[in-house]
Each structure stands twice: as structure tokens, then as C-alpha cells.
């Protein structure tokens, strides 16, 4: 047996497998220092998932931080294939919202996804440490007496690399094969195959790719 599986929180892993009625081929592995809250009214699709919560990517590294997955009332949460939440990563899906995640993607140490309306993350997406992704301002802005819309969907297409400490704000689409440089604040959509960076992020290079 893989020694990594010996470090699982076996009781939590078994509980959520039975509670979600996961099929035999699906795998939801919950490691120590994980908080998992999934409301019974939520629509959860993990039928093809191999999902790890609070897994360590450095062998022998102590878990100092808590990872958290919260899936609220009447929302939709789906994972299609391999997906890992590394140490301290947090995902919050608010009431009535929808979060979809593709295969072979991951969210690294202490990164946060806050989904209040709609977020899509494609396949082969690498989200580095301390990244923040949100489709909402969380508070409304009033301008000339009118309340501005405080939520707008975020779409991250396939094979995107988001660097350390980046912030992805509401209404943004990041095109396939693009790279978001470390420390960037992305306020506008990014075309496919572009390197963006800065505050606010702007295009640095075009027609790029990454491995």
C-alpha cells in the first residue's frame, strides 16, 4: 500500500464516501487537518473524481495549516478527474452557486477559491501558493445612488498557470495556455497564450505556452 494512504483520516474519508454515495471508481481522500462541510441539498458530482484534501506535495512536510471545503445549500459542485487541494487550501461554494473543476488541476498551499455565483476551472490548471480567486466583491458598491453588480462569473480555461500571490477578480476569463505572473492582480480577461503580470495585470508576452 502507498504510504501516503496510511496518513489519511480514514473515518472522515469513509464517512464522506458513504454520505455522498460515491461510486467504486471515485476517490475522495481526506487527510488530517481537513474541514469538510457539504450540505445535503447540494448537488455534488464526484463520480469521476480522484480528489485529495489537504495533501502534502513535499514528502515528510508537517501539516501546519487546515484545509477547508465548504459546499453550501442548493449549490452545485463537480470535479471531473484528478484534483488536489494542498495544505491549507480553502474552497467555499456559497448558497446557490456553482463551481466546476476539470481534471489534473490543483490548488496549492493556502490558496482560496470563493465562489458566490459561478466559477469554472478547466483541466491541467496549476494554481500556486497564496492565490485568491473570487467571483464577487463580497460587498456592494453604490454609485450615483445605484447598487453596482457585485458578482460576475470567473472562467479559467485549460492549461493555465497562476503564479504565487496572484489575485483573480470577478468577471475575468483567463484563456487557454496563459500564465499569470506571481503577485498579479487580474481585473480584466486574458486572451489565450498570453503572459500577464502587474497591478493591474497587463499583457507582457503573446503566443506563449508553458510546461
**C-alpha 15, offset from chain centre:** 23
The one catalytic residue among 17, 92, 118, 139 = 139
Q: 27-33 contacts: CB < 8 A, separation 24 or more?
A: 27/51, 28/53, 29/5, 29/53, 29/55, 30/54, 31/7, 31/55, 31/56, 31/63, 31/67, 32/7, 32/63, 33/63, 33/65, 33/66, 33/67, 33/87
Q: Is 139 a catalytic residue?
A: yes
Are the C-beta atoms of 154 and 171 separated by less than 8 Å?
yes
Catalogue the active-site residues: 139
Amino acid at each position: 500500500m502507498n504510504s501516503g494512504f496510511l496518513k489519511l483520516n480514514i473515518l472522515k474519508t469513509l464517512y464522506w464516501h458513504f454520505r455522498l454515495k460515491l461510486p467504486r471508481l471515485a476517490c475522495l481522500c481526506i487527510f488530517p487537518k481537513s474541514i469538510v462541510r457539504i450540505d445535503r441539498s447540494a448537488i455534488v458530482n464526484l463520480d469521476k473524481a480522484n480528489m485529495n484534501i489537504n495533501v502534502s506535495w513535499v514528502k515528510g512536510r508537517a501539516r501546519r495549516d487546515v484545509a477547508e471545503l465548504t459546499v453550501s445549500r442548493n449549490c452545485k459542485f463537480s470535479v471531473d478527474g484528478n484534483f488536489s487541494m494542498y495544505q491549507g487550501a480553502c474552497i467555499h461554494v456559497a448558497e446557490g452557486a456553482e463551481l466546476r473543476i476539470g481534471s489534473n488541476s490543483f490548488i496549492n498551499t493556502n490558496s482560496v477559491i470563493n465562489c458566490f455565483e459561478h466559477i469554472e476551472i478547466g483541466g491541467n490548471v496549476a494554481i500556486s501558493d497564496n492565490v485568491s480567486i473570487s467571483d464577487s466583491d463580497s460587498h456592494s458598491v453604490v454609485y450615483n445612488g445605484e447598487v453596482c453588480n457585485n458578482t460576475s462569473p470567473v472562467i479559467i480555461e485549460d492549461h493555465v498557470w497562476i503564479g504565487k500571490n496572484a489575485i483573480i477578480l470577478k468577471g475575468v476569463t483567463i484563456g487557454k495556455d496563459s500564465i499569470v505572473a506571481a503577485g498579479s492582480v487580474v481585473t480584466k480577461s486574458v486572451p489565450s497564450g498570453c503572459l500577464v503580470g502587474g497591478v493591474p495585470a497587463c499583457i507582457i508576452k503573446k503566443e506563449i505556452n508553458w510546461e
